[in-house]
């Protein structure tokens, strides 16, 4: 692991690292914000998963989350969204497949299966790396994300209910097996058997019995991808209601899909996670 950046802000430090990933078989980059409390004690961690076309840089620069993380004494862990490098398979003409579009699944189909193991990377390798090298409390963590990363946060929490204290999302892709983005990536990464897709679909997971204590979702009503039926929060809401899964879905009037929306409500999300993390 090599530190490539360190910036002091809000009394803590925003750091950036590269390391050789076994899961993704390439050099991966991630960022960590350590709040000022981490100088004297171990702190809980909030993992943030970003959306299509993003790297670890988008959230840490645009969301303004570090201020609230410092206030509550929470470390932010911000991975990249896909494997990277000249040898990594990609479809350069498409923003929704390949680099920047790992979709937080473990690919099973060639040529993607060698490197696109983002589910294993986020849930296993990165957690082990962070807990071994930073002043964070082992096992005391929550997860959140945006768009494709909101999908990632939901499935990670639902598939590992004992591992995460809380989960929230902004504009998540809630039912990817019925959206164009999800169908394109799932076909490429997982093959044509839709039973395999369902194991990475939050709506299907709830229908199959997966449960967490509560879920917080903020969705803007002015989101262009909502009207294009890429996100489908209504399907997820219906599944949660039928299954008795607690869900707080807030439709925020006029907000779009971008980071102005996230920046408006990120403080509320971090405060919500802080309660679950008992900070």
Identify the DSSP state of 142: E
Residues whose CB is less than 8 angstroms from the CB of residue 143 and which lie 6 or more positions away in sequence, other chains included = 46, 47, 48, 49, 153, 156, 157, 164, 166, 167
CA dist list (Å): 198 to 178, 185, 203, 242: 10, 13, 8, 18
- Could you identify the residue written with the tokens 């076994």? 22
φ, ψ for residue 118 (rounded to 5)? -70, -30
257 is catalytic: yes
Interatomic CA distance for residues 152 and 246, integer angstroms: 18
82 is catalytic: no
Give the pair of three-digit tokens for residue 252. Answer: 């925020």
Q: Which of 146, 166, 223, 273 is catalytic?
A: 223
φ, ψ for residue 221 (rounded to 5)? -75, -20
State the CB neighbour count (10 A cutoff) for residue 2: 10
Interatomic CA distance for residues 12 and 20, integer angstroms: 26
Q: Which of 147, 166, 168, 171 is catalytic?
A: 147
Peptide bond into 181 cis (omega under 30): no
Interatomic CA distance for residues 155 and 139, integer angstroms: 18
Give the pair of three-digit tokens for residue 117. Answer: 């193991």
Q: Which of 72, 146, 257, 269 is catalytic?
A: 257
Active site residues: 147, 223, 257
């Amino acid at each position: 692991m090599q530190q490539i950046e360190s910036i002091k802000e809000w009394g803590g430090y925003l750091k950036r690292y590269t390391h050789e990933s076994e899961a993704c078989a390439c050099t991966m980059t991630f960022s960590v914000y350590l709040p000022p409390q981490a100088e004297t004690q171990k702190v809980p961690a909030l993992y943030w998963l970003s959306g299509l076309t993003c790297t670890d840089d988008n959230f840490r620069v645009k969301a303004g989350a570090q201020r609230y993380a410092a206030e509550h004494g929470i470390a932010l862990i911000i991975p990249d969204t896909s494997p990277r490098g000249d040898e990594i398979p990609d479809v350069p003409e498409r923003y929704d497949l390949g680099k920047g579009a790992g979709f937080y699944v473990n690919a099973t189909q060639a040529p993607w299966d060698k490197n696109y193991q983002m589910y294993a990377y986020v849930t296993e390798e990165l957690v082990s790396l962070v807990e071994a090298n930073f002043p964070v409390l082992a096992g005391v963590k929550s997860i959140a994300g945006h768009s494709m990363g909101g999908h990632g946060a939901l499935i990670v929490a639902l598939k590992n209910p004992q591992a995460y204290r809380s989960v929230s999302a902004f504009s998540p892709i809630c039912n990817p097996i019925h959206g164009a983005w999800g169908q394109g990536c799932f076909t490429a990464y997982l093959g044509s058997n839709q039973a395999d897709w369902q194991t990475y679909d939050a709506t299907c997971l709830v229908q199959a019995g997966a449960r967490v204590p509560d879920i917080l979702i903020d969705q803007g009503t002015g989101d262009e991808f909502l009207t294009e039926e890429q996100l489908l929060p209504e399907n997820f809401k219906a599944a949660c209601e039928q299954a008795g899964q607690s869900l707080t879905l807030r439709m925020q009037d006029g907000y779009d899909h971008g980071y102005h929306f996230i920046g408006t409500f990120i403080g509320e999300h971090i405060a919500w996670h802080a309660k679950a993390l008992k900070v």
